[in-house]
Amino acid sequence: MPPLSGWTLWITGFVGKVPALDNVMSLLVSDFFIPVAIALVMLLLWVGHPNPEKRASLQKTIMNASVAIGISTLTVRVVNMHDFWPRPFLVDDPVISAAAWRAADIVFYHPHDPTFPSNGATIAFAAATGVFLGHRKAGAVMYVLATLWVFARFYAGIHFAFDLLGGIVIGVATALMISKVFMPRTEPIPTLALKAGRFLYIA
């Protein structure tokens, strides 16, 4: 059992008590709602600045965040290859597994892939951190969306708190490394990519 696994028992105890809350969480935990919203914020930043220099700078920020998403996803895959951490509803503890199974049944579904580290937390926080480094306000909005998604996944009993914290750490650390260390060293490739994009009217 991972650390903080008792928290899962506590949070899943709320599921089924207030149907309206379950409905909201069911929307927030969806594989499509917050991920698409985050990606659309990034698309808005790519196109939506009136100043061409500032727009180009934001486009580099989006490129950094996208690379961070890719690298952090790869990191999760590598961790998953080494060990299979079962979802809370599949652990040996019958009390926790029954509570998590019931919560996932009501709010979400029963995913079959490893629970640690949380892929959703990794991607959402990599994107939010990558964007935050280039645009504070949009980054803050994305942090709020990422936090809501992560909390909803915890509420649905499909992750232990430890899985989510692991995902957040991987996502934030990868985005910082990519934006501050890796991408600046790859110049002039990002600038050339933007030039090619301009030729196609997409940058």
Partner 1 sequence: MPIDVPVAPSSWSLHYYLLVFIASIGVYQVSSTIAGLSGIGFVSYRPLRLLLGVMIIAGAFLWFFLSEPNRNHLQHYVEGAQQLGFFLLGIVTAYIANCVLASLIQIGATLAARRPRGLRQWDQGMETLKHTTLIGGIIGSIRHRREDTV
Say whether residue 102 binds partner 1 (CB under 8 A). Answer: no
Burial class from Cβ neighbours inside 10 Å (0-12, 13-18, 19+) for residue 199 reads exposed
Q: Is it true that the peptide bond before 188 is cis, omega within 30 degrees of 0?
A: yes
Kindly state whether residue 89 participates in binding partner 1, applying the rule CB under 8 A.
Answer: yes
The C-alpha atoms of residue 67 and residue 109 are separated, in whole angstroms, by 29
Taking residues 143 to 182 in sequence order and writing x for each that binds partner 1 by CB under 8 A, - otherwise, the string is ----------------------------------------
Number of residues counted as binding partner 1 (CB under 8 A) = 40
Residue 202 binds partner 1, judged by CB under 8 A: yes
The one-letter amino acid code at 92 reads: D
Sketch the per residue contact string, 17 through 56, with partner 1: x for CB under 8 A, - otherwise.
---------xx-xxxxx-xx--xx--xx--xxxx-x--x-
The correct pick among 7, 19, 184, 195 for binding partner 1 (CB under 8 A) is: 195
Q: How far is the CB of 75 from partner 1 (least distance, A)?
A: 14
Q: Which of 155, 129, 141, 139 lies closest to 30, judged by CA?
A: 155
Nearest distance in Å: CB 27, partner 1: 7
Question: Whole-angstrom Cα distance, residue 52 to residue 201?
Answer: 13
Rule CB under 8 A: is residue 111 a binding residue for partner 1? yes
DSSP output for 113-151: S--SS-HHHHHHHHHHHHHHTT-HHHHHHHHHHHHHHHH
For 13, the token pair is: 């105890």
- Tell me which residues touch partner 1 (CB under 8 A): 26-27, 29-33, 35-36, 39-40, 43-44, 47-50, 52, 55, 73, 89-90, 97, 101, 107-112, 119, 194-199, 201-203
